[in-house]
């Protein structure tokens, strides 16, 4: 393999760029995970991690990928044959529903076109018709990473309340937590599912569940088999800052650092930054004359933009050109949209100039790969970023 000079652009929607501060934190010596120092560290971490979920309830952290945290949410709250309501928005919602079926749950998977997400009205209608309250849980993906489609969880919660339905609300926030506005307590979410390698700016390897009182109550009677994922074993040990088995010690150091960075920037500023980058990216895509996958502007993702390739052109061939020539990785089309879609990840440790570079790489790649498009997308994004910067930058009186 020959050396590629300069920095690789990792613009897949997770794993994301791991900042130096986090890498340094992770490189600290591994210590005894049963010793007093680790217990004190664990207690502090388990408390501070709540902030990013905006919850006062316990957060459980597994050494796992996000998929493990999906499974933990289901097996800790449900029993074999329980009915679960889920919505097809893209590959991740599809995989979560598949998992629920394989675990022995009775899944109603509301079909979707992979270009729009569920509406609150859909949720309300289905739950209102479920007079016997047979659905035990509603599973929603906050930000469907495969299609760049966002679902408004506050609206889903209101729809459930209007229907007077007691089902648990489970939300996959794997590619939105620490990047897009998220409020576990305020939105009445029962289990929030997250992972380390997206908005939280860590390498892969941590899966998280934020719980609620109702989720803990459901846990008492849930009959699906669980061992590794058992919340009770976790919560018992977590009381003293420990874990029932070896935690991913060094990733937890990284998490502590990432949470500090998010706190220093301020959650609201983090959200605004991702919104801004999403908008700038969509302006670029429109200027190129290409189409974003998400049809409904109220469902645009702040962390990932999925772009439709023009008919007859291969998204994977295009991505290969961008990687080989410009040393940038773009996200592939997953599942049904394999080779038809490429994805631009704009989340995690990211700023305006990194986005400008990313969009320049996409635009140059389109030209090199011979994909029909109009020039000026990166410039359109820059214009938006400039306007936003001018708005934010108040020149003090007397400076001019
Ligand atoms: C990445 C992702 C997953 C899967 O997480 P893994 O860490 O790959 O197991 C699930 N849901 C969403 C929305 C994701 O973005």
CATH 3.40.640.10 intervals, the chain: 20-263
What is the assigned CATH class of domain 20-263? Answer: alpha beta
Question: Do 192 and 49 contact (CB within 8 A), yes or no?
Answer: no
Question: Cα(2) to centroid of ligand 1, in Å?
Answer: 31
Look at residues 379, 362, 380 and name the one whose alpha carbon lies nearest to residue 371: 362
What is the distance between the alpha carbons of residues 318 and 304, in angstroms, rounded to a whole number?
18
Whether the pTM exceeds 0.75: the reply is yes
Does ligand 1 have an atom closer than 6 angstroms to the CB of 92? Answer: yes
Task: Judge whether residue 1 has pLDDT over 90.
Answer: no
Does ligand 1 have an atom closer than 6 angstroms to the CB of 62? Answer: no
> Average pLDDT for residues 181-192, to the nearest whole number?
98
Does ligand 1 have an atom closer than 6 angstroms to the CB of 301? Answer: no
Question: Cα(83) to centroid of ligand 1, in Å?
Answer: 23
> Average pLDDT for residues 361-367, to the nearest whole number?
98
Question: Cα(391) to centroid of ligand 1, in Å?
Answer: 35
- Topology (CATH) of 9-15+266-392: 3.90.1150
- How high is the pLDDT of residue 141? 98
Task: Judge whether residue 399 has pLDDT over 70.
Answer: no
Question: Cα(84) to centroid of ligand 1, in Å?
Answer: 19
Which ligand 1 atom is at minimum distance from the Cα of 144? 13
Does ligand 1 have an atom closer than 6 angstroms to the CB of 65? Answer: yes
Tens-place pLDDT, residues 34-63: 999 999 999 999 999 999 999 999 999 999
Q: Whose CA is nearest to atom 6 of ligand 1?
A: 66
CATH 3.90.1150.10 intervals, the chain: 9-15+266-392
Give the burial string for 158-191 (b: 16+ CB within 10 Å, else e): bbbeebebebbbbbbbbbbbbbbbbebeebbbbb
Question: Do 187 and 153 contact (CB within 8 A), yes or no?
Answer: yes
- How high is the pLDDT of residue 253? 98
Tens-place pLDDT, residues 209-237: 999 999 999 999 999 999 999 999 999 99
- How high is the pLDDT of residue 196? 98
Question: Cα(135) to centroid of ligand 1, in Å?
Answer: 24
């Amino acid at each position: 393999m020959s050396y590629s000079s300069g920095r690789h652009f990792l613009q897949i929607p997770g794993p994301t760029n791991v900042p130096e501060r986090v890498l340094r934190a992770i490189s600290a010596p591994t210590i005894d995970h049963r010793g007093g120092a680790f217990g004190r560290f664990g207690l502090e971490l388990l408390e501070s991690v709540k902030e990013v979920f905006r919850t006062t309830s316990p957060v459980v952290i597994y050494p796992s990928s996000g998929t493990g945290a999906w499974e933990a949410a289901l097996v800790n709250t449900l029993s074999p044959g329980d009915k679960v309501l889920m919505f097809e928005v893209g590959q991740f919602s599809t995989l979560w529903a598949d998992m629920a079926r394989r675990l022995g749950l009775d899944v109603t998977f509301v079909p979707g076109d992979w270009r729009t997400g569920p509406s609150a009205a859909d949720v309300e209608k289905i739950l209102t018709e479920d007079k016997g309250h047979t659905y035990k849980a509603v599973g929603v993906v906050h930000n469907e990473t495969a299609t760049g489609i966002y679902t408004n969880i506050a609206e889903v919660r209101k729809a459930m309340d209007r229907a007077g339905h007691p089902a648990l609300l489970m939300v996959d926030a794997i590619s939105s937590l620490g990047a897009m506005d998220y409020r576990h307590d305020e939105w009445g979410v029962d289990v929030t599912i997250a992972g380390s390698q997206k908005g939280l700016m860590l390498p892969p390897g941590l899966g998280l569940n934020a719980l609620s009182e109702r989720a803990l109550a459901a846990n008492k009677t849930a009959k699906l088999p669980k061992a590794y994922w058992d919340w009770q074993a976790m919560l018992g040990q977590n009381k003293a800052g420990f874990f029932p088995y070896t935690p991913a010690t060094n990733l937890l150091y990284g998490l502590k650092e990432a949470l500090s960075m998010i706190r220093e920037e301020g959650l609201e500023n983090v959200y605004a930054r991702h919104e801004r980058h999403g908008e700038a990216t969509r302006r670029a895509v429109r200027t190129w004359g290409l189409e974003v996958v998400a049809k409904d502007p109220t469902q645009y993702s702040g962390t990932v933009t999925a772009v439709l390739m023009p008919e007859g052109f291969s998204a994977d061939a295009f991505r290969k050109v961008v990687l080989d020539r410009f040393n940038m990785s773009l996200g592939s089309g997953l599942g049904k949209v394999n080779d038809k879609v490429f994805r631009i990840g704009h989340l995690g440790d990211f700023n305006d100039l990194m986005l400008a570079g990313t969009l320049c790489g996409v635009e140059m790649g389109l030209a090199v790969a011979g994909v029909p498009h109009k020039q000026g997308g990166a410039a359109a994004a820059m214009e938006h970023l400039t306007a936003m910067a001018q708005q934010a930058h108040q020149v003090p009186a007397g400076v001019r």
